[in-house]
Amino acid sequence: MSVTATPSRYVKLRRDLHQIPETGFQEFKTQQYLLDYISTLPQEHIEIRTWKTGVLVNVRGTQPQKRLGYRADMDGLPIQEDTGYDFRSKHPGYMHACGHDLHMAIGLGILTHFASHPVQDHLTFIFQPAEEGPGGAKPMLESEELKDWMPDEIFALHIAPEYPVGTIATKPGILFANTSELFIDLTGKGGHAAFPHNANDMVIAACQLVGQLQTVIARNVNPLDSAVITIGKIDGGTKQNIIAEKARLEGTIRTLSADTMTLVKSRIEALVHGLETAFACQAHIDYGSNYLQVYNEEKITSEFMQWVRETQQSYHIDLIECKEAMTGEDFGYFLESIPGFMFWLGVGTPYGLHHAKIEPDERSIDLAIGLMTRYLTWKSNR
Ligand SMILES: [Zn+2]
Ligand SMILES: [Zn+2]
Protein backbone atom coordinates (compact mmCIF):
# COMPACT_ATOMS: atom_id res chain seq x y z
CA MET A 1 0.00 0.00 0.00
CA SER A 2 1.40 3.39 -0.88
CA VAL A 3 1.28 6.21 1.61
CA THR A 4 -1.45 8.66 0.68
CA ALA A 5 -1.80 12.28 1.73
CA THR A 6 -4.26 13.12 4.47
CA PRO A 7 -7.69 13.28 2.81
CA SER A 8 -9.27 16.71 2.52
CA ARG A 9 -12.39 17.54 4.47
CA TYR A 10 -14.61 16.65 1.51
CA VAL A 11 -12.76 13.46 0.62
CA LYS A 12 -13.45 12.42 4.20
CA LEU A 13 -17.17 13.21 3.76
CA ARG A 14 -17.16 11.09 0.61
CA ARG A 15 -15.54 8.19 2.44
CA ASP A 16 -18.09 8.41 5.26
CA LEU A 17 -20.96 8.42 2.75
CA HIS A 18 -19.36 5.60 0.80
CA GLN A 19 -19.76 3.33 3.81
CA ILE A 20 -23.54 3.76 4.10
CA PRO A 21 -24.99 3.18 0.60
CA GLU A 22 -28.79 2.97 0.58
CA THR A 23 -31.20 2.42 -2.30
CA GLY A 24 -33.97 4.70 -3.58
CA PHE A 25 -36.09 6.31 -0.85
CA GLN A 26 -34.27 4.28 1.79
CA GLU A 27 -31.53 6.91 2.22
CA PHE A 28 -32.29 7.42 5.92
CA LYS A 29 -28.73 7.27 7.27
CA THR A 30 -27.49 9.26 4.29
CA GLN A 31 -30.09 11.97 4.90
CA GLN A 32 -29.16 12.12 8.58
CA TYR A 33 -25.48 12.36 7.69
CA LEU A 34 -26.16 15.30 5.37
CA LEU A 35 -28.35 17.05 7.95
CA ASP A 36 -25.73 16.54 10.68
CA TYR A 37 -23.02 17.99 8.48
CA ILE A 38 -25.14 20.94 7.31
CA SER A 39 -25.98 21.76 10.96
CA THR A 40 -22.25 22.42 11.55
CA LEU A 41 -22.24 25.21 8.91
CA PRO A 42 -22.92 28.87 9.74
CA GLN A 43 -26.73 29.09 9.81
CA GLU A 44 -27.38 32.82 9.30
CA HIS A 45 -27.79 32.65 5.51
CA ILE A 46 -29.28 29.18 5.10
CA GLU A 47 -32.57 27.34 5.59
CA ILE A 48 -32.96 23.57 5.49
CA ARG A 49 -35.90 21.41 4.47
CA THR A 50 -36.36 17.69 3.97
CA TRP A 51 -38.48 16.00 1.34
CA LYS A 52 -38.87 12.23 1.86
CA THR A 53 -35.24 11.07 2.20
CA GLY A 54 -33.92 14.13 0.33
CA VAL A 55 -32.55 17.40 1.64
CA LEU A 56 -33.07 20.94 0.32
CA VAL A 57 -31.02 23.93 1.38
CA ASN A 58 -31.71 27.56 0.54
CA VAL A 59 -28.81 30.01 0.67
CA ARG A 60 -30.37 33.47 0.78
CA GLY A 61 -28.92 35.89 -1.74
CA THR A 62 -27.71 39.36 -0.79
CA GLN A 63 -29.46 41.18 -3.68
CA PRO A 64 -31.37 38.43 -5.41
CA GLN A 65 -32.42 38.75 -9.04
CA LYS A 66 -32.80 35.03 -9.69
CA ARG A 67 -32.29 31.64 -8.10
CA LEU A 68 -29.59 29.19 -9.16
CA GLY A 69 -29.85 25.47 -8.37
CA TYR A 70 -27.34 22.70 -7.83
CA ARG A 71 -28.42 19.06 -7.64
CA ALA A 72 -26.65 15.97 -6.28
CA ASP A 73 -28.17 12.50 -6.19
CA MET A 74 -27.95 10.34 -3.07
CA ASP A 75 -28.65 6.66 -3.65
CA GLY A 76 -26.40 3.61 -3.92
CA LEU A 77 -26.88 0.33 -5.80
CA PRO A 78 -27.53 -3.33 -4.90
CA ILE A 79 -23.97 -4.37 -5.76
CA GLN A 80 -21.52 -6.28 -3.55
CA GLU A 81 -18.47 -4.04 -3.30
CA ASP A 82 -15.15 -5.48 -4.51
CA THR A 83 -12.78 -2.52 -4.12
CA GLY A 84 -9.53 -2.44 -2.18
CA TYR A 85 -10.82 0.42 0.01
CA ASP A 86 -10.39 0.35 3.76
CA PHE A 87 -13.58 2.46 3.89
CA ARG A 88 -15.66 -0.16 2.09
CA SER A 89 -19.47 -0.29 2.31
CA LYS A 90 -20.76 -1.36 5.70
CA HIS A 91 -24.04 -2.46 4.09
CA PRO A 92 -23.49 -5.96 2.67
CA GLY A 93 -24.76 -6.21 -0.90
CA TYR A 94 -24.94 -2.43 -1.38
CA MET A 95 -22.43 -0.04 -2.83
CA HIS A 96 -21.98 3.50 -4.06
CA ALA A 97 -20.92 2.29 -7.51
CA CYS A 98 -22.26 5.25 -9.50
CA GLY A 99 -20.36 7.98 -7.71
CA HIS A 100 -23.32 9.49 -5.89
CA ASP A 101 -21.11 9.55 -2.76
CA LEU A 102 -18.77 11.89 -4.64
CA HIS A 103 -21.73 13.89 -5.98
CA MET A 104 -22.97 14.51 -2.42
CA ALA A 105 -19.51 15.37 -1.07
CA ILE A 106 -19.06 17.87 -3.91
CA GLY A 107 -22.52 19.35 -3.24
CA LEU A 108 -21.66 19.73 0.45
CA GLY A 109 -18.35 21.36 -0.46
CA ILE A 110 -20.02 23.95 -2.68
CA LEU A 111 -22.72 24.56 -0.06
CA THR A 112 -20.05 25.01 2.63
CA HIS A 113 -18.48 27.83 0.65
CA PHE A 114 -21.73 29.68 -0.02
CA ALA A 115 -23.07 29.24 3.52
CA SER A 116 -20.25 31.61 4.59
CA HIS A 117 -20.03 33.62 1.36
CA PRO A 118 -23.53 34.15 0.00
CA VAL A 119 -23.75 35.69 -3.47
CA GLN A 120 -26.31 38.11 -4.90
CA ASP A 121 -28.70 35.44 -6.08
CA HIS A 122 -30.50 32.85 -4.04
CA LEU A 123 -29.10 29.34 -4.30
CA THR A 124 -31.01 26.07 -3.91
CA PHE A 125 -29.04 22.94 -3.11
CA ILE A 126 -30.96 19.78 -3.93
CA PHE A 127 -29.88 16.44 -2.51
CA GLN A 128 -32.15 14.10 -4.44
CA PRO A 129 -32.95 10.51 -3.49
CA ALA A 130 -33.72 7.55 -5.73
CA GLU A 131 -31.93 8.45 -8.97
CA GLU A 132 -31.22 4.80 -9.77
CA GLY A 133 -34.90 4.03 -9.31
CA PRO A 134 -37.77 4.44 -8.92
CA GLY A 135 -36.84 8.07 -9.69
CA GLY A 136 -36.79 10.94 -7.21
CA ALA A 137 -36.46 13.91 -9.55
CA LYS A 138 -40.02 13.96 -10.89
CA PRO A 139 -41.88 13.73 -7.56
CA MET A 140 -39.39 16.14 -5.96
CA LEU A 141 -40.10 18.72 -8.67
CA GLU A 142 -43.81 18.40 -7.91
CA SER A 143 -43.31 18.70 -4.15
CA GLU A 144 -44.49 21.59 -1.96
CA GLU A 145 -41.06 21.72 -0.35
CA LEU A 146 -39.32 22.75 -3.56
CA LYS A 147 -42.04 25.09 -4.86
CA ASP A 148 -40.82 28.44 -3.47
CA TRP A 149 -37.16 27.47 -3.82
CA MET A 150 -37.54 26.44 -7.48
CA PRO A 151 -34.38 27.44 -9.36
CA ASP A 152 -34.45 29.55 -12.54
CA GLU A 153 -31.36 27.70 -13.77
CA ILE A 154 -29.98 24.37 -12.58
CA PHE A 155 -26.70 22.47 -12.80
CA ALA A 156 -25.39 19.01 -11.97
CA LEU A 157 -22.47 16.75 -12.76
CA HIS A 158 -21.88 13.02 -13.04
CA ILE A 159 -18.58 11.24 -12.53
CA ALA A 160 -17.02 9.78 -15.69
CA PRO A 161 -14.54 6.91 -15.26
CA GLU A 162 -13.28 7.26 -18.84
CA TYR A 163 -11.92 10.81 -18.48
CA PRO A 164 -8.83 11.67 -16.42
CA VAL A 165 -9.03 13.96 -13.42
CA GLY A 166 -9.01 17.55 -14.60
CA THR A 167 -11.11 16.82 -17.68
CA ILE A 168 -14.78 17.68 -17.83
CA ALA A 169 -17.03 16.97 -20.78
CA THR A 170 -20.40 18.13 -21.94
CA LYS A 171 -22.29 19.41 -24.99
CA PRO A 172 -25.25 21.63 -25.79
CA GLY A 173 -28.44 19.72 -26.57
CA ILE A 174 -29.02 16.06 -25.82
CA LEU A 175 -26.46 14.53 -23.43
CA PHE A 176 -28.19 11.39 -22.12
CA ALA A 177 -30.84 9.21 -23.68
CA ASN A 178 -34.50 8.60 -22.98
CA THR A 179 -34.65 5.36 -21.02
CA SER A 180 -37.29 2.88 -20.00
CA GLU A 181 -37.15 -0.39 -18.16
CA LEU A 182 -38.83 -3.33 -19.88
CA PHE A 183 -40.35 -6.37 -18.18
CA ILE A 184 -42.28 -8.95 -20.20
CA ASP A 185 -44.06 -11.83 -18.48
CA LEU A 186 -45.21 -14.77 -20.59
CA THR A 187 -47.66 -17.38 -19.35
CA GLY A 188 -48.39 -20.58 -21.30
CA LYS A 189 -49.00 -24.15 -20.16
CA GLY A 190 -46.44 -26.36 -18.41
CA GLY A 191 -46.11 -30.09 -18.92
CA HIS A 192 -43.91 -33.18 -19.24
CA ALA A 193 -40.81 -32.58 -21.36
CA ALA A 194 -41.69 -35.62 -23.50
CA PHE A 195 -45.22 -34.37 -24.35
CA PRO A 196 -44.73 -30.95 -25.96
CA HIS A 197 -48.04 -31.24 -27.83
CA ASN A 198 -49.93 -31.14 -24.52
CA ALA A 199 -48.11 -28.07 -23.26
CA ASN A 200 -47.36 -24.52 -24.35
CA ASP A 201 -43.67 -23.81 -23.95
CA MET A 202 -42.73 -20.31 -22.78
CA VAL A 203 -38.98 -20.91 -23.14
CA ILE A 204 -39.50 -21.23 -26.90
CA ALA A 205 -41.76 -18.18 -26.94
CA ALA A 206 -39.23 -16.13 -24.94
CA CYS A 207 -36.35 -17.11 -27.21
CA GLN A 208 -38.32 -16.08 -30.31
CA LEU A 209 -39.26 -12.79 -28.73
CA VAL A 210 -35.67 -11.90 -27.80
CA GLY A 211 -34.66 -12.21 -31.45
CA GLN A 212 -37.75 -10.38 -32.72
CA LEU A 213 -37.17 -7.44 -30.37
CA GLN A 214 -33.86 -6.69 -32.09
CA THR A 215 -35.71 -6.28 -35.40
CA VAL A 216 -37.37 -3.18 -33.95
CA ILE A 217 -33.94 -1.54 -33.82
CA ALA A 218 -32.83 -2.94 -37.19
CA ARG A 219 -36.08 -2.41 -39.15
CA ASN A 220 -38.26 0.22 -37.45
CA VAL A 221 -35.86 2.84 -36.12
CA ASN A 222 -34.43 5.27 -38.67
CA PRO A 223 -30.78 4.25 -39.16
CA LEU A 224 -29.75 7.88 -38.69
CA ASP A 225 -31.49 7.91 -35.31
CA SER A 226 -30.31 5.75 -32.40
CA ALA A 227 -31.98 3.24 -30.10
CA VAL A 228 -31.03 0.23 -28.01
CA ILE A 229 -33.06 -2.67 -26.66
CA THR A 230 -31.11 -4.86 -24.25
CA ILE A 231 -32.59 -7.92 -22.61
CA GLY A 232 -30.29 -8.37 -19.64
CA LYS A 233 -32.05 -11.21 -17.89
CA ILE A 234 -34.27 -14.19 -18.75
CA ASP A 235 -36.10 -16.31 -16.21
CA GLY A 236 -38.14 -19.31 -17.24
CA GLY A 237 -39.21 -22.76 -16.23
CA THR A 238 -38.49 -24.82 -13.16
CA LYS A 239 -36.50 -27.91 -14.16
CA GLN A 240 -34.69 -29.45 -17.12
CA ASN A 241 -37.41 -32.05 -17.87
CA ILE A 242 -40.46 -29.85 -17.41
CA ILE A 243 -41.85 -27.63 -20.15
CA ALA A 244 -41.85 -24.07 -18.89
CA GLU A 245 -45.21 -22.56 -18.09
CA LYS A 246 -43.78 -19.12 -17.41
CA ALA A 247 -40.94 -16.99 -18.69
CA ARG A 248 -39.90 -13.44 -17.91
CA LEU A 249 -37.66 -11.10 -19.88
CA GLU A 250 -36.04 -8.12 -18.18
CA GLY A 251 -34.39 -5.37 -20.14
CA THR A 252 -34.02 -1.72 -20.94
CA ILE A 253 -34.83 0.58 -23.86
CA ARG A 254 -32.70 3.62 -24.74
CA THR A 255 -33.51 6.18 -27.43
CA LEU A 256 -32.10 9.55 -28.41
CA SER A 257 -35.50 11.11 -28.97
CA ALA A 258 -38.73 10.93 -27.04
CA ASP A 259 -40.64 10.17 -30.27
CA THR A 260 -38.43 7.15 -30.96
CA MET A 261 -39.20 5.85 -27.46
CA THR A 262 -42.92 5.98 -28.33
CA LEU A 263 -42.26 4.21 -31.63
CA VAL A 264 -40.11 1.48 -30.06
CA LYS A 265 -42.68 0.81 -27.35
CA SER A 266 -45.52 0.55 -29.85
CA ARG A 267 -43.50 -1.92 -31.96
CA ILE A 268 -42.66 -4.00 -28.88
CA GLU A 269 -46.36 -4.08 -27.99
CA ALA A 270 -47.26 -5.22 -31.52
CA LEU A 271 -44.66 -8.01 -31.44
CA VAL A 272 -45.78 -9.18 -28.00
CA HIS A 273 -49.41 -9.12 -29.13
CA GLY A 274 -48.43 -11.22 -32.14
CA LEU A 275 -46.57 -13.63 -29.87
CA GLU A 276 -49.75 -14.12 -27.82
CA THR A 277 -51.57 -15.17 -30.98
CA ALA A 278 -48.72 -17.31 -32.32
CA PHE A 279 -48.08 -19.18 -29.09
CA ALA A 280 -51.58 -19.02 -27.57
CA CYS A 281 -50.11 -17.55 -24.44
CA GLN A 282 -50.72 -14.52 -22.24
CA ALA A 283 -48.19 -11.73 -22.15
CA HIS A 284 -47.87 -8.73 -19.88
CA ILE A 285 -45.58 -5.76 -20.43
CA ASP A 286 -44.41 -3.47 -17.64
CA TYR A 287 -42.17 -0.49 -18.45
CA GLY A 288 -41.03 0.01 -14.85
CA SER A 289 -39.33 3.35 -14.42
CA ASN A 290 -38.87 5.70 -17.36
CA TYR A 291 -36.42 8.58 -17.53
CA LEU A 292 -36.63 11.54 -19.83
CA GLN A 293 -33.58 12.56 -21.84
CA VAL A 294 -31.01 14.94 -20.33
CA TYR A 295 -31.19 17.96 -22.60
CA ASN A 296 -28.64 20.71 -21.96
CA GLU A 297 -30.07 24.15 -22.75
CA GLU A 298 -27.94 25.37 -25.66
CA LYS A 299 -27.23 28.96 -24.67
CA ILE A 300 -26.37 28.36 -21.00
CA THR A 301 -24.27 25.30 -21.84
CA SER A 302 -22.30 27.03 -24.60
CA GLU A 303 -21.69 29.98 -22.28
CA PHE A 304 -20.44 27.61 -19.55
CA MET A 305 -18.15 25.80 -21.99
CA GLN A 306 -16.68 29.07 -23.17
CA TRP A 307 -16.21 30.26 -19.57
CA VAL A 308 -14.37 27.03 -18.69
CA ARG A 309 -12.10 27.30 -21.72
CA GLU A 310 -11.29 30.94 -21.11
CA THR A 311 -10.89 30.99 -17.33
CA GLN A 312 -10.32 27.54 -15.86
CA GLN A 313 -7.07 26.36 -17.44
CA SER A 314 -5.07 27.90 -14.61
CA TYR A 315 -7.05 25.62 -12.28
CA HIS A 316 -5.99 22.62 -14.39
CA ILE A 317 -9.44 22.03 -15.84
CA ASP A 318 -9.76 21.04 -19.48
CA LEU A 319 -13.08 20.86 -21.24
CA ILE A 320 -13.93 18.59 -24.11
CA GLU A 321 -17.11 18.56 -26.14
CA CYS A 322 -18.33 14.98 -25.93
CA LYS A 323 -20.93 13.00 -27.83
CA GLU A 324 -24.28 12.06 -26.34
CA ALA A 325 -24.48 8.74 -24.45
CA MET A 326 -27.16 6.08 -24.12
CA THR A 327 -27.05 6.30 -20.34
CA GLY A 328 -30.09 7.61 -18.48
CA GLU A 329 -30.38 10.14 -15.66
CA ASP A 330 -33.46 11.46 -13.95
CA PHE A 331 -31.88 14.92 -13.86
CA GLY A 332 -33.58 15.09 -17.27
CA TYR A 333 -36.83 15.94 -15.45
CA PHE A 334 -35.22 19.00 -13.90
CA LEU A 335 -33.92 20.09 -17.30
CA GLU A 336 -37.36 19.59 -18.86
CA SER A 337 -38.74 22.53 -16.88
CA ILE A 338 -35.61 24.44 -15.79
CA PRO A 339 -32.86 25.50 -18.21
CA GLY A 340 -29.37 24.33 -17.28
CA PHE A 341 -26.97 21.52 -17.92
CA MET A 342 -25.18 18.45 -16.66
CA PHE A 343 -21.53 17.64 -17.32
CA TRP A 344 -19.21 14.67 -16.94
CA LEU A 345 -16.49 14.96 -14.31
CA GLY A 346 -13.37 12.92 -15.08
CA VAL A 347 -12.44 10.50 -12.28
CA GLY A 348 -10.01 8.33 -14.33
CA THR A 349 -10.57 4.73 -13.25
CA PRO A 350 -10.45 1.51 -15.34
CA TYR A 351 -13.81 0.23 -14.09
CA GLY A 352 -17.06 1.67 -15.35
CA LEU A 353 -20.10 3.02 -13.58
CA HIS A 354 -22.04 0.34 -11.68
CA HIS A 355 -18.92 -1.88 -11.44
CA ALA A 356 -18.10 -3.53 -8.10
CA LYS A 357 -14.44 -2.47 -8.41
CA ILE A 358 -14.90 1.18 -9.36
CA GLU A 359 -12.51 3.48 -7.43
CA PRO A 360 -12.99 7.06 -8.66
CA ASP A 361 -9.96 9.32 -8.26
CA GLU A 362 -10.80 11.46 -5.23
CA ARG A 363 -8.74 14.42 -6.44
CA SER A 364 -11.77 15.15 -8.62
CA ILE A 365 -13.78 16.15 -5.53
CA ASP A 366 -11.93 19.34 -4.54
CA LEU A 367 -11.46 20.17 -8.19
CA ALA A 368 -15.22 20.05 -8.85
CA ILE A 369 -16.00 22.02 -5.70
CA GLY A 370 -13.62 24.76 -6.85
CA LEU A 371 -15.02 24.76 -10.37
CA MET A 372 -18.66 25.02 -9.36
CA THR A 373 -17.98 27.53 -6.60
CA ARG A 374 -16.29 29.82 -9.12
CA TYR A 375 -18.99 29.20 -11.74
CA LEU A 376 -21.96 29.92 -9.44
CA THR A 377 -20.24 33.05 -8.14
CA TRP A 378 -19.61 34.24 -11.71
CA LYS A 379 -23.16 33.32 -12.76
CA SER A 380 -24.72 35.18 -9.86
CA ASN A 381 -22.81 38.38 -10.51
CA ARG A 382 -24.12 38.58 -14.06
ZN1 LIG B 1 -26.05 4.85 -11.97
ZN1 LIG C 1 -25.39 7.90 -11.32
Q: What is the pLDDT of residues 100-137, one digit of tens each?
A: 999 999 999 999 999 999 999 999 999 999 999 899 99
pLDDT over 70 (residue 5) = no
Are residue 137 and residue 58 in the same domain, yes or no? Answer: yes
The pLDDT tens digits for 13-33 are 999 999 999 999 999 999 999
57 and 158 inside one domain: yes
- Shared domain for 187 and 280, answered yes or no, is yes
pLDDT band at 353 (very low <50, low <70, confident <90, very high): very high
Which bound ligand lies closest to the C-alpha atom of 352?
Answer: 1
How many angstroms separate the alpha carbon of residue 190 from the centre of ligand 2? Answer: 41
Q: Write down the catalytic residue from 132, 245, 297, 330.
A: 132
Q: Looking at the structure, tell me whether residues 264 and 319 fall in a common domain.
A: no
Taking the C-alpha atoms of residue 358 and residue 304, their distance in angstroms, rounded to an integer, is: 29
Active site residue 73: yes
Verify whether residue 86 is a known catalytic residue.
no
Catalytic residue of the set 73, 121, 297, 330? 73
Number of domains in the chain: 2
Report whether pLDDT(277) > 90.
yes
Cα–ligand 1 centroid distance for 119 (angstroms): 32
Query: Binding site membership: which residues?
Result: 98, 100, 132, 158, 354
Q: Specify the pLDDT at position 348.
A: 98
pLDDT at 4: 52
38 & 163 share domain: yes
Specify whether 230 is located in the same domain as 321.
no
Mean pLDDT of 160-167: 97
Q: Which amino acid is at 116?
A: S
One domain for residues 96 and 214:
no
Residue 381: pLDDT band by 50, 70, 90 thresholds?
Answer: confident
**Tens of pLDDT, residues 29-50:** 999 999 999 999 999 999 999 9
**pLDDT per residue over 257-275, tens digit each?**
999 999 999 999 999 999 9
